[in-house]
Structure 1
Amino acid sequence: MERDSIIKVIALMVTAFGIGIDFTGALMLVPAIENSFDADITSTQWVLNIYALFFAMTMVAGGRLGDMYGHRKVMIFGLALFLFSSILCFVSPSLDFLIGARALQGIGAGCVWPCTLAFGATKVSRQEHRALIMGLILAGVTSGNVFGPMISGLVVNYGDWRLFFLANVVFASISMITTVLLMQRDTTHKAGEHIDFAGMGLLSFAVLLLLYGLDVGAEWGWLSVPLLLLFFVSAVLFMLFPRVEKRVREPLLLPQMMENREFRITLGLNMFNVSAAFVGLLYFPQYMQKVLGWSVLESAVGLAPLTVLLAVGSIVSGTLYNDFGPKRLLFWGYLFATIGAASIVVMPMELGYFQILPGMALIGLGATLTVGPSGTAAVCAVKPERAGLVGGLSFMVHLVYGAISVACATAIMYMVSLSSLRQQLATAGVDLSSADQKAINGGTLTTKTAAAVMQKLGSAEADKVKTALATAFDSGMNMAFVFSTISVSIGIVLALMLDEKKLHKIES
């Protein structure tokens, strides 16, 4: 590979690294953000979910805009928006402001990522180097996934959670400079391209309503009229989505693609593999901090069995695809992930870190064998000229279902942990009002509201409350992983249904 191309690939890897650290790194900040804004997990989960949703829904449009107006131009715009929103995250005066800034970050990342891949695939080097270049770009983003929690741990231990977003500013600035200086301008653009803004908007609003309903369900009451109306509107929008897709010129999901059985199966395989990994990335660090009493940095190191496997696996699985075939890889991957999620439920709390260690390793191994192969299988299920569209769609459903999984798991976790806390406090003879129980539910005792509750208690009662909270958190996390186990196990069935012979003989 020529020296000029090597420099460009390094620049693209830095951009990918910046995207990678932002996603996993923000997960480690959840307890610190709870403390800073006196919030609970049902609210702080939006720091993850809103980013994933807007990243997912922008990505297809970002790729299309790059084709229409130039990948360099759209990439610079996305990096500028990502940099600006990172500064907003750094100065956020409230949780709502932070969530809004994270939404902007997701839009910026959704413009940057498809254009980064486009540069790697078409503009950096010769045809024979493309596979190597794409592998290096993926290595950049997965390395960011590994180092993101480490950076979070360092900034929380030695400063403030806000400093994490300065790392975003640094990497976005470097990426903007290298893009301006190194990446050539596009000389040709695709004519006649159209973006399905109607479909994206409808789907985004439907998912947002669903996520919001899961967030406020415990507060409003699960059978309350406003909440049921919210879920009804969300369901109606989901049902309207395919009708709208039939009317737009270039829909996200082409009707002929959705008539393709193998494509539908591979799209499902791209969805369900994310449930255990996303829920684990959210709750494993909290378990280590809230139950085991570890620092953020120690929790980041403790998360390594999952993050390192996710990083290494995305590269290794590509080499296994042709040797073993997608059906075998996906079946065993989903099986490992299902066993891993189930192990979290059945392993006793007394084991401490070793309660979650086998599950982390198996979930990481399962993701290794499913994330890459499911995306490749989806691309193989359609015509070559639709590979870019399907690549974006597969990652879109991956992230959207990940956000939905986290919201569902968090709603379950909150309800179960609160019920467990009430029972244990009653058994221990500790009298706390319903409002006080909700204030401390979730295990974060350093928020202003939770600290005020604990100050009302004597030392003996405070010790009983801490024990009850740890057990309640564990019970809630276990039930969250019951949901993940069921979700991931669907992938086993889909993998068995996949017909490899038909997969590579698609006509539509």
Structure 2
Amino acid sequence: MLLLTLAIGFVMAMIDVTAVNTALSAIAIDLEVPLSGLVWVVDGYTLTFAALLLAGGALADRYGARRAYQGGLAVFVLGSVLCALAPGGGALVAARLLQGCGAALFMPSSLALLMHAVDDERQRARMFGLWSALVSAAATVGPLAGGLLVETFGWRSIFWLNLPLGVAGIVLTGWRAPAPPSHPRSLGLISHGLGAGALASLAFVLIDGPELGWTAPPVLAALATAMLLGVLLVRRERRAAQPVLPRALYGSAPFRAALVTGLMINVATFGQLFVVSLLMQQGHGIGALGTGLAILPMTAAAGIMNVLSGRAIAAYGTRMPLLAGLGGGAAAALLLTGAAAQTPPWLVVMGGTLLFVALGFAIPAMTATVMGAGGKALANSAGAALNANRQVGALLGVALAGTILHAVPDWGLRLALVYGAIAAGLACAWLAVWHGVRQPAAAPAALLADQVMEG
């Protein structure tokens, strides 16, 4: 019961993220949302999630993990209800922003609650493995569940589903989960605000730039704002007595390489999911259920490879799985650049599945590298930085895909440009690992058991 309680938040978030992709065409028709609006529907959630994830961890430390978890679930449920009731595209995007705020609160605290609930190391590792399997299963069935709901009850049903799940999670957490003691710490609100503002401004440039024009005054103003806030954030963090990201992590080459890897993996993952979903529905006229079935082998392949990667890490360390996964992903993306508008959908799905196989093999090694660089003393900060960085990658991946789809009408050229950009990004990550991760390092058993979630 405790395991189920603490997995509810992640399960909701995973189903929500993957199911929304299957509902994009239905949302566009029902609410008359243009392509840039669809990008905001996906990226609005990711924007607030990425911007506030580190702050969510600090709030959990300061006010208690159980309070943060319950509060995050409440905010997420409220955002889901507002999504389901949204009368237009603007209201839907605003509600998605609220959902991201809730996820940023409950995700960092869920694992902390599980850590404090179990004292025995072996039992804890088993709990982590079961918890990760639940989350991985949710990510795998998310597209299929979304397709079934959209075709049976309409796109609003994917958000109504979160209401009973979230309420059950709030009640069960108060009943079953322990309340770990709080640890007062500086929240760094100014730094978090600067980072959120810079990320939001950059998102506006990437998403609305193609529609408004890259030289339009609002776009240029947003770009200048993003650059200014980014400079101010860097200066403040360098001078801060307690920076948001500990200085000890800055000098670690493996840590930097793993962050680049996480960014590029999520650019590839979420960029591909967005493009394939629209290709199936708008390019080939396939319904929401068929789109969910098409995405299913991709997400399933990533989950399976997460598990198999753990054995490779134990035998060879993290360097080999990272290089193999990133190299294989770049090769699969290059293969997909040859797809044309007339290419059968199943061939695109097969190539996309190969891409997810490769990336799924690299993800646990990437996380193990980050956690190894942080050590026990900086494990929380290192993990939070990786997850926040990956959410930024998800935002950039969808925004990049949306920019290409907006600029190019032909699906063959669209696929070539999207997958060419993915291949280039993964090649950059491969080079970062080649130069930065010199010594192989095996991951702790408890960490490896937790890696399915990262997929």
- Deviation of 1:51 (Å): 0.9
Q: Following the alignment from structure 1 to structure 2, what is the Cα–Cα distance between the partners of residues 59 and 134?
A: 21
In the TM superposition, residue 210 of structure 1 has moved relative to its aligned partner by: 1.2
1:138 aligns with 2:76: no
Aligned residues: 442
Query: Is the partner of 2:14 in helix, strand or coil?
Result: helix
Identity of aligned residues (%): 23
Pick the aligned partner of 1:159 from 153, 164, 176: 153
In the alignment, which residue of structure 2 is the partner of 1:321? 313
When structure 1 is superposed on structure 2, of 86-95 and 242-251 the one drifting more is: 242-251
CA distance, structure 1, for counterparts of residue 109 and residue 306 of structure 2? 20
Residue 399 of structure 1: which of 391, 401, 405 is its match? 391
Query: What is the CA-CA distance between 1:125 and the residue it aligns to?
Result: 4.6
Q: Residues 414 and 476 of structure 1 are in contact (CA less than 8 Å); yes or no, is this contact kept in structure 2?
A: no
Contact 2:74–2:170 (Cα < 8 Å) also in 1:
yes
Assess if the C-alpha contact under 8 Å between 1:194 and 1:249 holds in 2. no
Deviations 1:60-89, CA, capped at 9 Å, x for gaps: 222222222221111111111111111111
Shift in Å, 1:177: 1.8
State the distance in 1 between where 2:372 and 2:35 align. 39
Aligned residue number for residue 74 of structure 1: 68
CA contact (8 A) 2:23 2:155 kept: yes
Q: Pick from 4, 20, 25: which aligns with 2:19? A: 25
Match of 2:248 in 1: 256
- What displacement does 1:501 show? 2.7
Query: In 2, are the aligned partners of 1:269 and 1:491 still within 8 Å (CA)?
Result: yes
SS of structure 2 residue aligned to 1:329? helix
Report which structure shows greater RCO (CA 8 Å, sep ≥6): 2
**What are the residue-to-residue correspondences of 1:98-497 with 2, within 5 Å?**
98-186=92-180, 188-191=181-184, 193-417=185-409, 472-497=410-435
Cα shift at 1:325: 1.5
Aligned partners of 1:375 and 1:395 also within 8 Å: no
1:391-417 C-alpha deviation (Å, 9 max, x unpaired) = 011011011122012212211221122
The unaligned stretches of length 5 or more in structure 2 are 443-455
Answer yes or no: is 1:83 the counterpart of 2:77: yes
User: In 2, Cα distance between the equivalents of 1:254 and 1:114?
Assistant: 17
Indicate how the Cα distance of structure 1 residues 215 and 119 shifts in structure 2: closer, same or farther if over 3 A, else same. same
After TM superposition, the score normalised by the length of structure 1 is: 0.83
Give the whole-Å Cα distance in 2 for the aligned partners of 1:303 and 1:476: 19
Task: Name the CA distance, whole Å, in 1 between partners of 2:36 and 2:109.
Answer: 34
With over 3 angstroms needed to count, the CA separation of the structure-2 counterparts of 1:194 and 1:358, relative to structure 1, is: same
Aligned to 2:450: none
How far has the Cα of 1:226 moved from its partner?
Answer: 4.1
Equivalent residue number for residue 452 of structure 1: none
Question: Which residue number corresponds to residue 86 of structure 2?
Answer: 92
**CA-to-partner distance for each residue in 1:19-57, whole Å, 9 max, x for gaps?**
211111112111111111212222111111121121122
Question: 1:308 offset after TM fit, Å?
Answer: 0.6
In structure 2, what is the Cα distance between the partners aligned to 1:125 and 1:315? 25
Moved more, 304-313 or 97-106: 304-313
Q: Which shifted more, 59-68 or 300-309?
A: 59-68
Q: TM-score, normalised on structure 2? A: 0.92
Separation in 2, partners of 1:190, 1:275: 34
Letter in structure 1 aligned against 2:323: F
Partner of 1:426: none
Secondary structure in 2 aligned to 1:346?
coil
* Aligned-residue offset at 1:111: 1.1
Provide the rounded CA distance (Å) in 2 between the counterparts of 1:253 and 1:206: 17
Change (3 A) 1:96 1:225: closer
Structure 1 gaps, min length 5 = 1-6, 418-471
Please name the residue that 1:60 is paired with.
54
CA distance in 1, matches of 2:307, 2:440: 26
How many angstroms apart in 1 are the aligned matches of 2:145 and 2:110?
A: 23
Q: Does the CA-based 8 Å contact 2:209-2:219 persist in structure 1? A: yes
Following superposition, the deviation at residue 502 of structure 1 comes to 8.3
The answer to whether the 8 Å contact 1:309/1:365 transfers is yes
Please give the secondary structure, in 1, of the residue aligned with 2:285. coil
Q: Per the alignment, do residues 121 and 147 of structure 1 end up closer, same or farther by CA in structure 2, a change over 3 Å counting?
A: same
Residues 275 and 488, structure 1, Cα contact 8 Å, conserved in 2: no
CA contact (8 A) 2:262 2:390 kept: yes
Q: Deviations over 1:432-455 (max 9, x none)?
A: xxxxxxxxxxxxxxxxxxxxxxxx
